[in-house]
Structure 1
Amino acid sequence: MTILTHTLGFPRVGLRRELKKAQESYWAGNSTREALLAVGRELRARHWEQQKQAGIDLLPVGDFAWYDHVLTTSLLLGNVSARHQNNDGSVDIDTLFRIGRGRAPTGEPAAAAEMTKWFNTNYHYIVPEFSKGQQFRLTWTQLLEEVDEALALGHKIKPVLLGPVTYLWLGKVKGEPFDRLTLLKDILPVYQHVLAELAKRGIEWVQIDEPALVLELPQVWLDAFKPAYDALAGQVKLLLTTYFEGVTPNLDTIIALPVQGLHVDLIHGKDDVAELHQRLPVDWLLSAGLINGRNVWRADLTEKYAQINAIVGKRALWVASSCSLLHSPIDLSVETRLDTEVKSWFAFALQKCGELALLRDALNSGETAALEEWSGPSQARRHSRR
C-alpha cells in the first residue's frame, strides 16, 4: 500500500498579499469584479502547482475563500439573511462581502454578520445565522467551479467541504429561539447534491471537515453524526477530517460512521497511533497529521517517522499537515534578511509540503538518510542558546 501526501488547505492571500490588494482595490472602486475574479484564479492555479512541485500527491480544492471558508459554506447552502440578499434573490461575490463587511460595491449596506475565533486559533470566521423554518438550496457553486479549474489543469485533487454538523454547531439562532440542530435534515440535501456533482466529475475522495468532533459535545450533537453521514454515504469516498485536538474521547461515535477514512491531528491531539490503528475499521484509510500546520518551525522528521512507521503496510495511510496550512506563512525562500542559522530552523507552508514528501518517500522505501539530514537543524535548535 503506497503512502500518499496531501494537505488540508493552503494559504490563500498570495506571497505578495495579492488577494488582499485585489479585494481592497475592488472595494474602493478602482478595479472591476472580473479583475478580482481573475486574481483568484491565478492564485489558485499557482498554489496548486506549487504544492504539486513540492511533492503533494492530492491537492486540496475548496480551501480558497474570498473572505472565510465558513462564509463560503453559508453561500453554498443558500444561508443568506434577508438584510444581505440581492433584490432579485441571486447570490454573488458582493453578497458575500455584504455579509462579511456590511457593504459591497453593489447593493444596500447592512449590518455585517458576527465574527469570532475559529476554534482555538487566531483565525476568525463569519458566524452563520439560522432562523426557524428557513430553507436551504445550492446557490453558490464556487467549489464546483474550482474543481473544474483544477481538473482542467490536470491535477489530482481532493475537494474540501466543511461538514454539516460542525457547520450547524458554529452558527447562532437569530429571532425566535429554536434548536438549530433541527435544521440538519434541511441542509443534508444540499450536501447530497454537491457530492453527486463531484461524483459526476470523477472525484474519488472528498475531505469533509468535522473539527467539532474534537470537542466535548452534548450527546444529542454526537448522536446527529450517524444519520447525517448515513445520508451522505455512497457517492464518493469521505475522509472525515478533524484537527486542533484529539479524537479518542469521541472515537466510538466516529467508528460507527459510514466513511472511508479519518484524518487526525497528531500534533495537537494526544491520540495514540497504535490505538487508532487497532480501533479503526480495517478497511479505513488513516490520514496522519504529522506536520504542524500552525507553526513556522522545521520538523524533526526522524520523530515523525518513528511515530507512524509501526503501522506502515498494515492499513491504507496518508501523511498530511495537522490542519490547513492557512495558519502558516507561504514560502521561506523569499526571506532574505534572516540569519542563516536561524533561517535553517524554519519551515513555511511550501517547506512543510516538502517535509511531507520526504516523510512519504522514507516511509515507502524504509530509507531514512534524507530525514536525518533534514532534521539536523531542528535538533540543533533545541540546544541553541539563541
Structure 2
Amino acid sequence: MKTSVIGYPRVGIFRELKFSTEKYFKNIITKEELRSTAFSLKETHWKVQKNNGIDFITSNDFSFYDNVLDTAVLLNVVPSRYKQLKLDALDEYFVMARGYQGEKGDVKALSMKKWFNTNYHYIVPEIDDDTEISLAGTKPFDEYMEAKNLGIETKPTIIGAFTFLIVAKFTGGKTVEDFINDIAQAYSDILRKFSEMGTKWVQFEEPALVMDLSEEDLILIKKIYSSILSAKGSAKVLLQTYFGDIRDCYSEVVAMPFDGIGLDFVEGKKTLELVKYFGFPEDKTLFAGIVNGKNIWRNNYFNTVNLIGELGRYCRNIVLNTSCSLLHVPYTLKNESSLSAEYKKHLAFAEEKLKELSELKVILSVNNPLSTNEYIENQKLFNGARYRQNENVRKAISALSQEDFIRHPNFEEREKIQKAELNLPPLPTTTIGSFPQTAEVKANRSDYKKGNISFEEYTAFNRKKISECIALQEKIGFDVLVHGEFERNDMVEYFAENLDGFLFTEKGWVQSYGTRCVKPPIIWGDISRSKPITVDYSVYAQSLTSKYVKGMLTGPVTILNWSFPREDISLKDCAFQIALAIRDEVLDLEASGIKIIQIDEAALREKLPLRKSDWHSEYLDWAIPAFRLVHSGVKPETQIHTHMCYSEFADIIKDIDNMDADVITFEAARSDLSIVETLKECEFKTEVGPGVYDIHSPRIPSVSEIKEALLKMLEKIPKEKLWVNPDCGLKTRGNEEIIPSLENLVAAARDIRKGLSV
C-alpha cells in the first residue's frame, strides 16, 4: 500500500515566503532573491515528504500568491488591462492579485473569493470574450523538473478544467460552452508535454465535483475530459476531488479512463456508500482521503483501519491519501515549545500527518494490524477523556429558550428609534475596525508577551495609539469612529486568548491569501468568558471624542469557523457556547455607554455546506441563531453592526437579513458591487455599507471613483439605509495608503450628500 499527499503548505515554517514577497513588493530584494527563497522552500517541502516515506509527492502546489491565479496565467487567461501595462511576467502576475497604480497606469486587482468551504481566498480568473485559452506558461513543467533534478519523482498538480471554468468569471457575452474546445486543447497539451517529459502521474484537482451538479454540468464534464484524456499518452491521470463526496457524478467519473480517482472519506458523507453501491473499477487506483487535511487532531487508526478493510472488499488498488491539501493546517508541532506534551500528543499538523500516513502504511501492510506498536500507541490517545468540560456552560446552553434568540422591538421600530437617538447625517461614514498594524504596534505586543515591558507600559502605548487614531479620524471627518484595535493580533485569536477553552500555538500559521497568514486557535474545552475583554479600551476611546466610537467584537460563528474545532460536540453547541460568552461582552459594552457595537461575522458564509440541501439543516439553522443570541438582549437604541467579506452572499441574502442586525457592511469593491443588485432584488431591510474601495490592494481610490460607486449604490439602495466605508479592516495596509484613501472616501460622501434632498 502506498501513500500520497494532495498538496503541502507553501509559505514556510517561519513564513519565509511571506516576508520575502513583501520585501520584493517594497523593492528591498530582487526577483532572483525571491525566486531563491521559493526554490529553497520547495526543496524543503519535497524532501520532508520523501523522508516521511510519501510515495506520491506533489509538485506545482507551490505558489507565489494563489494556485488558481497560477492556472489562469498558465492558460493565458490574463485580461488585456494587465497586459497593456507591459510588465514582466512576475510583476504582471502580482498586479493581477494586488492591482497597480503608477506611471504605467492604474488598474484594479482581480476579485477574491473563498475557496469552497475554507478560509483560503483564491483570485477569480476573468474570461473576456476575446480571451484565447491556450497553454502559455511553463510553471508546472519547471517545478516538476526542479524536483526531478533533486532525485524526487513528483505528481504535478493543476486545478482541473471543470473547476477552473466553474470558479472563473465570464465578463462578456460568451459562456462556458464557447471555451470548451480551447480549454480541452490546452489541458491536452499539458498532458502531452508531461508525457514527453516521462512524468508518471498528473493530478487534476476537481473540488467542484462535490457540489450540486446539473445534467448540463455532467455533459460538460464528459465533453471536456473525453477530449483531454485522449491525449494522456504514457502519463497516468489522477482525478482528485475533496471537500465532500461526488454523489452526482460518481458513476460517470469511474466510467471515464482516469487511472486514479481521489475521493474524500473525511468530509464525503456518502463516499463509502457510493463505493459500496456502484463498486470501483479494478483497473483504477483509489486515492483514499483518510487523513484530515483541514483539522489538527490525530487520526484514529481504529476507524481508518476498519475503513480501509471495508474498502478492500471493493477496490483492488488503494493509496492512502490526505482528504485535501495540507495547505489548510500549520506546518509542524516541532517548534511549539509552549504547548505541553499532554496537549501535543493529540495534535497533528502537516508534517505529523505525513508520519500518520507512514504509520498507517506500516499498520496496513501486516496480517494483524491491531498488533503493531503504531496502532497500540495510537489507541492509547483515544481511550481517555481529551477535552475540558464546564458544567456551568453546559447548563446555560440547556437553559436557552426561543425568546433568547429574539430581539425586541422589531427592526423597523428600532431603526426609527436609532435615527432619532444617534442623529447621524445621511450616508454616515465609518471604517470596518482595524487600523494599520505597524512594526511599532507589533513590537509593543511582542515585548509585553515576552515580559520585556510591564502591563502599564503596554497599556500606555495602546492608549497613545488609540488617541492618535481618534484624532486622525476626527481630522479626516468620519461620522462613526473606531479605536483602531492596536491591542489585537488577530480578530479571532485575540478573543480566543481572552476566553476559557482555547489552546494557542507559536508558529501555527496558515495561509489565508497571498502573504496574509493567520494562527487559528484550537478549541480544547467548553468556552466561557471570565472577565470583560474590550470594555476598557472602548470606554477610553469614547472618552476622547463627542462622536460615537464603535465597540468592536468578533462574532461566534467567525470565532468558531476560524478556529480548529473539537470533535466531541456539535458545531452548533460550540457556536452557542461562544455566543453566550460574546453576549456578556456586548451587554457590558452597552452598560458602559457604548451606543454602537459591531459584531463581525466575516466568516459566516465560509462553512456553508457545498450542497444546498444541507444549508439550513446542517448550518444556517444554528449559525444565524448564534448571532442573534449575541445581541438579542440589548436596548432598542443600541445599534448593532456586523461585517462580512470576500464570499458570495446572493444565495443566502435573506438569511443574512434574518440575522436582525441594524447595519451590515459587505465586501463589494473587488466584486464590482454585484451585491448591490441582490440587496435591491431581495428588498433587504437592514441598513448596509457595501465597501466602496478594496483595501487589499495598494491602490489609492480617487474621490471621483468613490463617488461613482456611491451613485451606483444609490440607484438600488435608499439613501436612508446606505453607509459609506471601505470593504474590510485596514490592519494590513500602511498609513501612506490608508490616509489619502480615507480622505477621499469622506470627501466623496460629503459631495454626494450635498446633492441629496434630505
- TM beyond 0.5: yes
**How far 1:219 sits from its partner (Å)?**
1.6
Q: Is residue 2:82 matched to residue 1:78?
A: no
- The answer to whether the 8 Å contact 1:94/1:104 transfers is no
Quote the offset at 1:224 in angstroms: 0.9
The answer as to whether partners of 1:59 and 1:157 remain within 8 angstroms in 2 is yes
What's the secondary structure of 2:204's corresponding residue? strand
C-alpha displacement of 1:247: 1.4
Q: Distance in 2 between matches of 1:105 and 1:159?
A: 37
The Cα of 1:261 is off from its aligned counterpart by 1.5
Q: 1:252: which partner in 2?
A: 251
The answer to whether 1:166 aligns with 2:163 is: yes
Distance, in Å, in 2 between the alignment partners of 1:104 and 1:158 is 39
> Deviation digits for residues 329-361 of structure 1, max 9, x if unmatched?
001111010022111111000000110111112
| Matched residue type, 2:67 | H
My pick for the range that moved more, 307-316 or 113-122, is 307-316
- Structure 1 partner of 2:181: 185
Where does residue 365 of structure 1 map in the other structure?
366
Post-superposition offset of 1:87:
4.9
* Partners of 2:62 and 2:173 in 1: CA distance: 33
The superposition leaves residues 8-48 of structure 1 with CA deviations (integer Å, 9 ceiling, x where unpaired) of 00001100000000000000010001000111100000000
Report the secondary structure of 1:225's partner residue.
helix
- From the superposition, tell whether residues 207 and 168 of structure 1 become closer, same or farther in structure 2 (CA, over 3 Å): same
Are the aligned partners of 1:94 and 1:106 in contact in 2 as well (CA < 8 Å)?
no
CA distance in 2, matches of 1:149, 1:254: 32
Q: 1:276: which partner in 2?
A: 275
Number of aligned residue pairs: give it: 382
Which letter does structure 1 place at the counterpart of 2:340? D
Q: 8 Å contact 2:42–2:62 — kept in the other structure?
A: yes
Instruction: State how far apart, in whole Å, the 2-side matches of 1:152 and 1:51 are.
Output: 16
Please give the per-residue CA displacement for 1:255-283, whole angstroms capped at 9, x wherever unaligned. Answer: 23221111111000113536415522221
Deviation at 1:230, TM superposition (A): 1.4
Q: Structure 2 vs 1, CA of residues 110 and 53 (structure 1 numbering), >3 Å: closer, same or farther?
A: same
Deviation at 1:107, TM superposition (A): 5.5
Are residue 223 (structure 1) and residue 219 (structure 2) matched?
Answer: yes
- Please give the alpha-carbon distance, in whole angstroms, between the structure 2 residues aligned to 1:245 and 1:303: 18
For the residues of structure 2 that align with 1:179 and 1:67, how far apart are their CA atoms? 27
Q: Distance in 2 between matches of 1:379 and 1:122?
A: 32
2:240 is matched with 241
Match of 1:59 among 49, 52, 57: 57
Structure of higher CA gyration radius = 2
Q: Distance in 2 between matches of 1:38 and 1:324?
A: 24
Out of 59, 65, 90, which is 1:93 matched to? 90
Alignment of 1:332-343 (within 5 A): 332-343=333-344
Gaps of 5+ in 1: none
Preserved contact between residue 290 and residue 321 of structure 2 (Cα < 8 Å):
yes
Report how far residue 377 of structure 1 moved.
Answer: 2.1
Alignment pair present for 1:47 and 2:41:
no
1:1-386 alignment runs, 5 A limit: 3-85=1-83, 87=85, 92-103=89-100, 108-174=105-171, 176-233=172-229, 234-235=232-233, 236-273=235-272, 275-276=274-275, 278-312=278-312, 314-366=315-367, 367-368=369-370, 369=372, 370-382=374-386, 385=389
TM-score, normalization: structure 1? 0.94
Conserved 8 A contact 1:325-1:349: yes
- Following the alignment from structure 1 to structure 2, what is the Cα–Cα distance between the partners of residues 207 and 316? 17
* 1:80-123 deviations in Å (ceiling 9; x for gaps): 001111555x8611111000000399954410000000001111
Structure 1 contact 161–207 (Cα < 8 Å) conserved? yes
Partners of 1:106 and 1:49 in 2: how far apart?
A: 43
CA distance in 1, matches of 2:335, 2:124: 35
Distance 1:130 1:243 in 2: 25
Q: 1:15 to 1:136 in 2, by over 3 A?
A: same
On the 8 A contact 1:302/1:372 being kept in 2, the answer is no
Local SS of the residue matching 1:72: helix
The more displaced of 102-111 and 76-85 is 102-111
Letter in 2 for 1:194: I
Identity level (%) = 34
Looking at structure 1, the residues matched to 101 and 72 of structure 2 have their Cα atoms a distance apart, in angstroms, of 17
Deviations 1:130-174 (A, max 9, x none): 112421222221111100000011112111011101100001111
> 2:104, 2:283 → 1: CA distance?
51
One-letter amino acid of the counterpart of residue 243, structure 2: F
CA–CA distance in 2 between the matches of 1:159 and 1:181? 27
Instruction: Name the SS of the counterpart of 1:159 in structure 2.
Output: strand
Determine the C-alpha separation between the residues in 2 that align with 1:30 and 1:85.
25
CA separation in 2, counterparts of 1:106 and 1:311?
60
- d(CA) in 1 for partners of 2:376, 2:101: 52
Task: State how far apart, in whole Å, the 2-side matches of 1:310 and 1:245 are.
Answer: 19
Q: Distance in 1 between matches of 2:289 and 2:5?
A: 9
Q: Secondary structure at the match of 2:78?
A: coil
For residue 289 of structure 2, give the secondary structure of its aligned residue in structure 1. Answer: strand
- Corresponding letter in the other structure for 1:40: A
Asked if the contact 2:266/2:289 (under 8 Å) is kept, the reply is yes
Distance 1:53 1:252, change over 3 A: same
Q: Do the aligned partners of 1:98 and 1:109 also contact (CA within 8 Å) in 2?
A: no
8 Å CA contact 1:62, 1:161 repeated in 2 = yes
The answer to whether the 8 A contact 1:210-1:241 is kept is yes
Three-state SS of the structure 2 residue aligned to 1:40 is helix
For residues 229-276 of structure 1, give each alpha carbon's deviation from its aligned partner in whole angstroms, at most 9, with x where no partner exists. 111213221111111011123212212322111111100011353641
Task: Give TM-score, length-normalised by structure 2.
Answer: 0.49
Separation in 2, partners of 1:288, 1:361: 16
Whole-angstrom CA distance in 1 between matches of 2:383 and 2:35: 44
- SS of the aligned residue for 1:57 comes to coil
SS of corresponding position for 1:290:
strand
CA distance in 2, matches of 1:20, 1:240: 30
Write out per-residue CA displacement over residues 269-309 of structure 1, whole angstroms, 9 at most, x where no aligned residue: 11353641552222111110000000111111121111112
When the two chains are superposed, the root-mean-square deviation of aligned CA atoms in Å is 2.0
The alpha-carbon distance between structure 1 residues 120 and 379, as it changes in their structure 2 partners (threshold 3 A), is farther
Any stretches of 5+ residues in structure 2 without a counterpart? 390-524, 526-758
Tell me, in whole angstroms, the C-alpha distance in 1 between the residues paired with 2:125 and 2:263: 26
- Which residue identity lines up with residue 140 of structure 1 in the other structure? G
Could you tell me whether the CA contact under 8 Å between 1:27 and 1:105 is conserved in 2? no
